[in-house]
Amino acid sequence: MLGALARYEHKAALAVKHHATAVHTRDVLRAKLKATKSELAELNHPSCSLSTAERSQRIVAMTNSLPVLETELRLAEQSAEQSEVKITETRSQLHNSRLVARQLSDRIAHAEQGLRDLVNSELPPPSITLFRVRVERDLAALRAQYADLVGEDEVPLEAA
């Protein structure tokens, strides 16, 4: 059984991987656009050794490719920004789930301690039985919540 913590950890790892890919794509497109503009500037320079016809053909081809590269770069930049937001959101979810797991673990430990204290108390047996049933019911519910969160089929006694 895969718990919420494991799902968030997996989701965070995927978000980081996607972000790395988006950043790499963005960086490659930036370099390609810069190289295209640089080559275009060289072709427009009077000292270019190519014939006028050849220069014209290359200038037209490169000029036509610039808007496409710029659009691809804008999309890649947006993708990188969105993936960064996704990482932040996922890490927040993971952090919150870890906090909830810790709180549940603490509540389980507290309930278990309460059971031990109840057994050692000097209350009359009917009262002990009633309190014990309530605490055991609450403890079972806490263990089930903890198991769902961390993905364990069974939470051992003395969890934490």
Q: What is the mean pLDDT of the chain?
A: 87
| Per-residue pLDDT, 50 | 82
Query: Is 94 within 8 Å of 150 (Cβ atoms)?
Result: no
Q: Give the residue with greater pLDDT, 128 vs 61.
A: 61
Per-residue pLDDT at 160: 36
Q: What is the pLDDT of residues 138-152, one digit of tens each?
A: 899 999 888 888 876
Domain boundaries, the chain: 4-150
Higher-confidence residue of 123 and 58: namely 58
Q: What is the pLDDT of residues 113-137, one digit of tens each?
A: 988 887 777 777 777 788 888 888 9
The answer to whether the beta carbons of residues 16 and 95 sit under 8 Å apart is no
106 band by pLDDT with thresholds 50, 70 and 90: very high
- Indicate the DSSP class of residue 151: T
Q: Place 159 in a pLDDT band, splitting at 50, 70 and 90.
A: very low
Integer Cα distance of 150 and 107 in angstroms = 15
Q: What is the per-residue pLDDT for 134?
A: 86
pLDDT for 128: 76
Q: What is the pLDDT of residue 124?
A: 74
pTM over 0.75: no
Residue 22: how many other CB atoms lie within 10 Å: 21
Q: If we measure between CA atoms, which residue out of 55, 26, 51, 27 comes closest to residue 41?
A: 55
